[in-house]
């Protein structure tokens, strides 16, 4: 089990790398994270909702994703409230106290999910959540040492040296753990190191002396992996367009932005400069502006107006720019968004009015994987839907896609504004090129080779990670997993 000194230590990516390394050695591998807090969700084959991170780890392991790999998904909505997804289905919304009262119902689902995976696997690679050394959370633990005890799993604690303070973080984590949990820790992994690892030797010796726990690996910083992140903190690292040069694509960073993993393929696309904008300034000079998904569409629509984005988007369109709305962003491009049942913030808000549709949020969430095709004769897309909004036409509407034989999405009369509920638009190379050529205002060249699917780029990244871990980890760790 990989636990961390805190969020964003790199646990998710390292678990994916371990899954690939173990799978390459012929083992049946399954990833598992009992509780994940993220607005980046995906849809499993059975229609259940789960965290994107475990979908990625399943890809690395070479197995289909399933909700047992992430039985609890928390989707933050307000400052102290989250929607609780249990085994792929929305259970309820809860604040921290309400969530902890659900523990008697949640823990059996965690246990059954782990046991299901363990029965069919040679190795289950488990990811913890946040830090195991939070004294106020230990008694209510659903994700760290309680899971390690359930699985009788050895624990590796991961620290991010790129952020600084890694040795203090590792030492502090061990000092705060109860003795029984401290004994379960078999070693430390220092992640994201730039330079000569031998330079760490004095600090490593001091840490080992103080904790009697070895450092079992120093993993190098691996730039340009191209793997989607589960934490919105990662958006801070996106290279600003001024550094590179190319077609400008701007994603509006909504306060409740969701499923921004949709846009990871654009970060790796040659000739495209992607940035996330919290203020309207970066929209100047953009070819394409994207309104992404949202966990609170009305609240984010109001924030969009308050921050000046509505006027900036109008100016962008007047300059000949293109606008794409995905899921909640699609709903914001219509005439109104109404929430009569209080599914999110409640109330009703006038939207931007660029597409002839109205949205009403329903109590039941739609989650499904679909096959689609761009109209009239564009490429196919395999995507998924996660939304509570139900769209109704409010005037003549020009559909954008065919989804499972039905019309979906909407295009403006001038063709410069598109909206769709479909996630995963940029995964396929031909579909990605279709959108980018639309935003360039030029048809795709028939003789131009299709760009690769983003899945192919992720496959390269998984192998690169596996190679790095094979070289960095102490062979005794790999022997304990049965792969050395």
Q: Known catalytic residue: 423?
A: yes
Of 256, 327, 387, 434, which is the active-site residue?
327
43 and 53 Cβ atoms separated by less than 8 Å: no
State the Cα–Cα distance between residues 228 and 128, nearest whole angstrom.
Answer: 18
Tokens of 61: 């392991």
Of 42, 256, 316, 423, which is the active-site residue?
423
Q: What are phi and psi of 480, to 5 degrees?
A: -65, -30
Beta-sheet strands, E only, within 282-346 = 288-291, 293-294, 322-326, 336-339
Pairing of strands 155-160, 185-193: parallel
For the purposes of burial, counting CB atoms within 10 Å of the CB of 169, is it exposed (0-12), middle (13-18) or buried (19 or more)? buried
Helix axes 201-211, 166-176, angle to 10 degrees: 10
Q: Known catalytic residue: 327?
A: yes
State the Cα–Cα distance between residues 483 and 288, nearest whole angstrom.
Answer: 47
Is the peptide bond preceding residue 349 cis, with omega within 30 degrees of 0? no
324 and 374 Cβ atoms separated by less than 8 Å: no
Query: How many Cβ atoms from other residues are within 10 Å of residue 166's Cβ?
Result: 23
State the Cα–Cα distance between residues 111 and 116, nearest whole angstrom.
Answer: 9
422 and 408 Cβ atoms separated by less than 8 Å: yes
Q: Label each residue of 114-169 as H, E or C.
A: HHHHHHHCCEEEEECCCCCCCCCCHHHCCCCHHHHHHHCCCEEEEEEHHHCCHHHH
Query: How many Cβ atoms from other residues are within 10 Å of residue 233's Cβ?
Result: 10
Active site residues: 327, 423
């Amino acid at each position: 089990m990989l636990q961390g000194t805190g969020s964003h230590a790199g646990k998710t990516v390292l678990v994916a790398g371990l899954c690939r390394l173990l799978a390459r050695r012929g083992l049946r591998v399954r990833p598992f994270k009992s509780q994940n807090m993220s607005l980046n969700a995906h849809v499993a084959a059975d229609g259940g909702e789960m965290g994107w991170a475990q979908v990625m780890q399943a890809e690395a392991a070479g197995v289909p994703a399933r909700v047992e790999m992430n039985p609890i998904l928390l989707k933050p909505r307000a400052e102290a409230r989250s929607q609780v997804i249990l085994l792929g289905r929305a259970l309820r919304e809860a604040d921290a106290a309400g969530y902890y009262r659900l523990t008697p119902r949640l823990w059996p689902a965690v246990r059954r999910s782990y046991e299901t995976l363990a029965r069919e696997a040679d190795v289950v690679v488990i990811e913890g959540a946040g830090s195991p050394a939070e004294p106020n959370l230990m008694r209510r633990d659903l994700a760290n040492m309680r899971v390690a005890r359930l699985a009788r799993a050895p624990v590796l604690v991961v620290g991010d040296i790129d952020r600084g303070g890694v040795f203090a973080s590792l030492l502090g984590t061990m000092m705060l753990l109860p003795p029984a949990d401290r004994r379960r820790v078999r070693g430390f992994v220092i992640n994201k190191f730039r330079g000569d690892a031998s330079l760490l030797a004095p600090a490593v010796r001091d840490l080992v002396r103080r904790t009697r726990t070895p450092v079992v690996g120093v993993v190098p910083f691996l730039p340009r992996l191209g793997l989607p992140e589960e934490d919105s903190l990662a958006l801070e690292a996106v290279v600003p367009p001024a550094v590179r040069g190319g077609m400008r694509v701007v994603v509006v960073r909504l306060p409740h932005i969701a499923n921004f993993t949709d846009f990871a393929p654009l970060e790796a696309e040659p000739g495209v400069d992607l940035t996330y904008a919290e203020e309207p300034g970066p929209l100047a000079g953009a070819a394409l502006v994207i309104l992404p998904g949202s966990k609170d569409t009305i609240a984010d629509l109001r924030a969009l107006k308050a921050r000046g984005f509505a006027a900036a988007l109008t100016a962008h369109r007047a300059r000949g720019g293109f606008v794409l709305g995905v899921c909640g962003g699609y709903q914001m491009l219509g005439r109104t968004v109404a929430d009569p049942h209080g599914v999110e913030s409640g109330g009703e808000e006038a939207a931007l009015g660029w597409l002839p549709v109205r949205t009403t949020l329903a109590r039941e969430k739609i989650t499904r994987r679909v096959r689609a095709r761009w109209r009239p004769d564009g490429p196919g897309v395999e995507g998924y839907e996660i939304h509570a909004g139900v769209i109704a036409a409010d005037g003549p509407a020009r559909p954008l896609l065919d989804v499972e034989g039905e019309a979906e999405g909407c295009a403006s009369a001038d063709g410069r504004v598109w909206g769709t509920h479909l996630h995963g638009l940029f995964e396929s190379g031909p579909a990605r090129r279709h959108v980018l050529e639309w935003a360039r205002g030029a048809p795709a060249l028939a003789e131009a080779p299709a760009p690769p699917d983003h899945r192919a780029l992720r496959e390269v990244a998984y192998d690169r990670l596996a190679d790095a871990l094979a070289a960095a980890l102490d062979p005794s760790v790999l022997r304990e997993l049965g792969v050395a």
